[in-house]
Amino acid sequence: MKLSFVVPCFNEQGNVGNFYKRVEEVFRNSKYSYEYIFVNDGSKDQTYEKLKLLVNIYTNANIKVINFSRNFGKESAMYAGLQASKGEYVVIIDADLQQDPAYVVNMMKAIEEEPSYDSVAAFQENRHEGKILKTFKSWFYHLINRISEVEFVDGASDFRLLRRNMVDAILALPERNRFSKGIFSWVGFKTLYMPYEVHDRVNGQSSWSFWKLFRYAVEGFVSFSMTPLRIATFFGLVFSLLAFLYLVFVVIQTICFGIQIAGYATIICLILLIGGIQLFCLGIIGEYLARNYIEAKQRPIYVVKDIISTRED
């Protein structure tokens, strides 16, 4: 097997069929032998039924569908897909056709021509996103690259082609908190960055909300959700901000109207400020502790309900 397509699917009933057709269009007459690993990540729609249909109809194709018992997230789906893949090369690609399978041909060409590269990552030169989101993302990358030991490339997505040795290295990392962008760069190897245009989603909607992205970003910094601990962080920030605003107010009030009760305002401001900062720091420690707790439990990264395939193995 030359190439494996690892396709995480969450509520993609309108896309999986088209995705399969598009890949066939591009690859049927290519020199590569290839397989599909679809991971149904607890979809609430008819995705699984559609995938089942593919397996039942295209019996000559090499299709495997891993059906999760619930939604475990794209990271877990990718991990399961990588584990099941047999190809010499593996490409991780979304089911929504935002990432045109035609690029995979170029990626394959590039990696075959350049044996020194172990991975080809597609990155978006021009993001089709709102200004605010773009700004936040660029802040995120700026900050994370300053504080982190590994490099994060702005615009690089999970759309990647990996050589087997890199797949094995990724699979060897057993952590539950899987922040793939970090994992890809932590394992090292040589990555070629290839620009690509993201297409609009054909069907369904993106499962990324702003809040989800925020959480993903925190994951990146601290490398799951322990919401109460995060609330401590949140309160810390809010109180710090309120105290700061009050501080500014008191300074202006003092300048304009003089001191009313000596020292009172300063003490209140300081108590709030220090309290806020303490909660904030406690929150950060909590983030790490929470991850430690999750890792210590050693739960599996995903749970499979069933697997269907066109091939027996």
Task: Name the residues that contact Mg ion, by CB under 5 A.
Answer: 94, 96, 98
Nearest residue (CB) to ligand UDP, 37 versus 77: 77
Of 73 and 286, which CB lies nearer to ligand UDP in the complex structure? Answer: 73
Which lies closer to Mg ion via its Cβ, residue 4 or residue 98? 98
Minimum CB–partner distance for residue 199 and ligand UDP (Å):
10
181 binds, among Mg ion, ligand UDP, none (CB under 5 to 8 A by kind): none
287 binds, among Mg ion, ligand UDP, none (CB under 5 to 8 A by kind): none
User: What secondary structure, in 3-state letters, does the chain show?
Assistant: CCEEEEEEECCCCCCHHHHHHHHHHHHCCCCCCEEEEEEECCCCCCHHHHHHHHHHHCCCCCEEEEEECCCCCHHHHHHHHHHHCCCCEEEECCCCCCCCCHHHHHHHHHHHHCCCCCEEEEEECCCCCCHHHHHHHHHHHHHHHHHCCCCCCCCEEEEEEEEHHHHHHHHCCCCCCCCHHHHHHHCCCCEEEEEECCCCCCCCCCCCCHHHHHHHHHHHHHCCCCHHHHHHHHHHHHHHHHHHHHHHHHHHHHHHHCCCCCCHHHHHHHHHHHHHHHHHHHHHHHHHHHHHHHHHHCCCCCCEEEEEECCCC
Which of Mg ion, ligand UDP, none binds 41 (CB below 5-8 Å, type-dependent)? ligand UDP
- By beta-carbon proximity to ligand UDP, the closer residue of 20 and 280 is 20
Q: State in angstroms the smallest separation of the CB of 164 from Mg ion.
A: 26
Tokens of 34: 């290839």
Q: Which residues are near ligand UDP by CB under 6 A?
A: 8-10, 12, 41, 71, 73-74, 77, 94-96, 98, 206-208
**What's the min distance (Å) between Cβ of 9 and ligand UDP?**
5
- CB 282 to ligand UDP: min, Å: 30
Q: Between 71 and 266, whose beta carbon lies closer to ligand UDP?
A: 71
Choose the one of Mg ion, ligand UDP, none that binds residue 8, judging by a C-beta under 5 to 8 angstroms depending on kind.
ligand UDP
State which residue, 281 or 303, has the beta carbon closest to ligand UDP.
Answer: 303
Shortest distance (Å) from residue 59 CB to ligand UDP: 24
CB of 209 to Mg ion, least distance (A): 13
